Amino acid sequence: MSRISALEGAIIASSKGKPLGSVAEVLFHPVEPRVIGFSVNRPRTGGIIARAPVYVPLGMLTAKTDWLEIAGKSLPSAKDSERLLGFSWDVTVQWSGMPVRSADGTAIGAVDDVDFAFEDGNVSVMRVSTGILGDVAVGRLTVPHELLEGFDGSAVVVSATYSELQSSGGAAKVVAKGASAAKETGSRVAKQAYDVGMSAAIAVGKSFKSGTGRRMLDKFKEMTREDEE
């Protein structure tokens, strides 16, 4: 299994071992819970001038020990990669930091990390940070693929009611307790984090390419991500 946090910054090299760029973001299908590719930062021109990111479908890459290898000598053109993908990169979604909701519409937290199969991109486990619910430390919730419905345009949806999540284990009960505490205190931090998260929960599109979407997500992560386990 691959983890998105471990892949961010990973080097992408040609079949001859020449570095071509590094992973900027792991991108997901517009609706389904599966990874479909990456946005890739290329080396700066002359070491100074930034270049536009390139998008690479998951199917073009092979995972090596310390890098990702692409067949051939160069990164694909947008036209070639979209032909393989079957749709535009503008509709892909970056899950990290996105709000997570239960099927009954209750806010659970934010996507902290995701494990997926590199072969087909299917998500196996999603880790949810509950820092979004305020400054009450309630830990993380691990959601198996069976409970993942996908992205609905504004949040990642867990295919279960809140009561069903509570019955699935202690971690879920802690999340419910944190949600209740945040609601009772009317935490300003919780509202700010959720508002920013909802605003950031957009398709990659022009906003991401211009840097606006990325800045929003970075701010959201800063407010919600806890220390690594």
Q: Which residue matches tokens 């220390």?
A: 227
Q: Over the stretch 152-201, which tens digit does the pLDDT of each residue have?
A: 999 999 986 544 544 344 444 444 444 444 444 444 444 444 444 444 44
Q: Over the stretch 102-155, which tens digit does the pLDDT of each residue have?
A: 888 888 788 889 999 999 999 999 988 776 443 234 456 788 888 999 999 999
Across the chain, mean pLDDT equals 74
Amino acid, res. 194? Y
Q: Over the stretch 199-211, which tens digit does the pLDDT of each residue have?
A: 444 344 434 444 4
Q: What is the mean pLDDT of residues 43-59?
A: 80
CA distances from 182 to 138, 154, 160, 161 (A): 11, 21, 21, 19
Confidence at 78, pLDDT banded by 50, 70, 90? confident
Q: Provide the CATH topology of domain 2-91.
A: Photosynthetic Reaction Center; Chain H, domain 2 (3.90.50)
In the chain, where the domains are located: 2-91, 99-224
Q: What is the mean pLDDT of residues 60-88?
A: 90
Q: Which residue matches tokens 């590719």?
A: 37
- Res 218: pLDDT: 56
Q: Please work out, in degrees rounded to the nearest 5, the angle formed at the alpha carbon of residue 228 by the alpha carbons of 141 and 66.
A: 110
Find, among 97, 142, 149, 123, the residue nearest to 2 by Cα. Answer: 123
Q: What is the mean pLDDT of residues 43-68?
A: 84
Tokens of 110: 């934010």
Q: For the packed helices 188-200 and 212-224, what is the interaxial angle rounded to 10 degrees?
A: 150
Phi, psi of 190 (to 5 degrees): -60, -45
- Res 129: pLDDT: 79
Q: What is the mean pLDDT of residues 44-50?
A: 68
- Res 132: pLDDT: 41
Residue 35 has pLDDT above 70, yes or no: yes
Q: pTM of the prediction?
A: 0.71
Structurally, what CATH architecture does the domain formed by 99-224 represent?
Answer: Roll (2.30)
